[in-house]
Amino acid sequence: MALDAIQKNILHEVADLDGIPQGAYNIRANGTSAGRNTTANIDIVTKEDKPGIDIIIKPGTKGESVHIPVVLTESGLKDMVYNDFYVGEGADVTIVAGCGISNCGDQDSQHDGIHTFHVGKNAKVKYVEKHYGEGDGKGARILNPVTNVYQEEGSYVEMEMVQIKGVDSTVRTNVAELADGATLLIHEALMTHGTQKATSDYKVALNGEGSSADVVSRSVAKDDSEQIFEVAIEGNTACNGHAACDAIIMGNAHVVAIPRLDAKNVDAALIHEAAIGKIAGDQLIKLMSLGLTEEEAEEQIVAGFLR
Among 106, 267, 294, 296, binds its own copies (CB under 8 A): 267
Contact 238, 208 (CB under 8 A): no
Is residue 270 at the binding interface for its own copies, with CB under 8 A as the rule?
A: yes
Report the nearest approach of its own copies to the CB of residue 32 (Å): 42
In order of 14, 16, 86, 102, 180, the CA distances from 8 in angstroms are 10, 10, 28, 11, 42
Is residue 251 at the binding interface for its own copies, with CB under 8 A as the rule?
A: yes
Among 20, 76, 138, 271, binds its own copies (CB under 8 A): 271
Residue placing its CB nearer to its own copies in the complex, 103 or 240: 240
Question: Which DSSP category does 226 fall into?
Answer: E
Which alpha helices (DSSP H) does the chain contain, by range?
Answer: 5-15, 281-289, 294-306
Is residue 252 at the binding interface for its own copies, with CB under 8 A as the rule?
A: yes
The pattern of x and - marking residues 195 through 234 that bind its own copies according to CB under 8 A reads: ----------------------------------------
Is residue 4 at the binding interface for its own copies, with CB under 8 A as the rule?
A: no
Rounded CA-CA distance 65/52 in Å is 19
Is residue 5 at the binding interface for its own copies, with CB under 8 A as the rule?
A: no
Among 171, 263, 284, 306, binds its own copies (CB under 8 A): 263
Rounded CA-CA distance 230/225 in Å is 17
CA angle 154, 158, 163 (to 5 degrees): 160
Is residue 256 at the binding interface for its own copies, with CB under 8 A as the rule?
A: yes
Report the nearest approach of its own copies to the CB of residue 107 (Å): 32
Residue placing its CB nearer to its own copies in the complex, 153 or 262: 262
Is residue 62 at the binding interface for its own copies, with CB under 8 A as the rule?
A: no
Per the DSSP assignment, residues forming a β-bridge with 229 are: 200, 257
Return all residues near 158 (Cβ < 8 A) that are at least 6 apart.
125, 126, 127, 184, 185, 186, 187
Which residues contact its own copies by CB under 8 A?
Answer: 235, 247, 249-278
